[in-house]
Amino acid sequence: MNTFLFYYALYSLNMSSSTSSGGGPTVLWDVLKGKKVKTNDGKELGEIKEFSQNYVRVEKGTLRKDSIWIPKYVGDAFDGRILWLLISEQEVLDRFKYGEKEGEVNEAPSTEQYAKDFETFRGSPAGKDRKNKSDLDDSIRMVENYENIRDYK
């Protein structure tokens, strides 16, 4: 059974709920623990390690682990193996590094930081093109064949 169908069947996706791109199946964020994260330019950011109310913590590396908290609203879709983001690797590093030291795992950013980042995102090209759901979403849209910006270059 392919991975997409496995997740589709196993987690009883909600077919009637609205998603970030308009209806369709979704999967709960918690299901994504241990999955890879890639940006819209095809760069791998690492593996999902934990979640907070508004953020996903992604960790990269084996000996020297780097960790970054990424807001859930920049997630575009999950294809059964990879969580795809709406923004590039450079945008993630520029916007969401929050001054933590290399290799150090900090707490998720505050709700004030989240609100500030969300307003900035809504003014960006990726944020303007997206129909934003509630800030407190507990699911991400599920797709079988994800095509991102790098596929059109």
Strands 44-51 and 55-60: antiparallel
pLDDT in tens, 91-150: 998 888 765 555 555 788 888 999 999 898 888 888 877 665 544 467 887 887 776 545
CA angle at residue 76 from 72 to 81, to 5 degrees?
Answer: 95
Band (pLDDT 50/70/90 cuts) for residue 18 is very low
Residue 98, helix vs strand vs coil: coil
Q: Which H or E run includes 139?
A: strand 139-141
pLDDT at 34 over 50: yes
Architecture of the domain defined by 30-137: Roll (2.30)
Cα distance between residue 38 and residue 28, in whole Å:
18
Q: How far is CA 39 from the centre of its chain?
A: 9
Does pTM surpass 0.95? no
Give the model's pLDDT for residue 41.
Answer: 92
